[in-house]
Structure 1
Amino acid sequence: MSSKNDTEAFYTKLKAQLEDTTQFPALYLYKFIVPSSEDKIKQVHQIFDNIGAVIETKQSSKGTYTSVSITVNMKSADAIIEKYKEASAVEGIISL
Structure 2
Amino acid sequence: MIASVLDFPWSVKNQARMHKRNYDRPYKPTSDAMSYWVEVETALGAALDNSGDVILMSPFGFDSLFNYTVTMNSKRPKPQGFNERLTTKRWLQIWPRLVVNT
Does TM-score exceed 0.5, indicating one fold? no
The structure number with the bigger radius of gyration is 2
Q: Scaled by the length of structure 1, what TM-score is found?
A: 0.29
Whose RCO is larger (CA < 8 A, sep 6+)? 1
Q: Which has the higher helix share?
A: 1
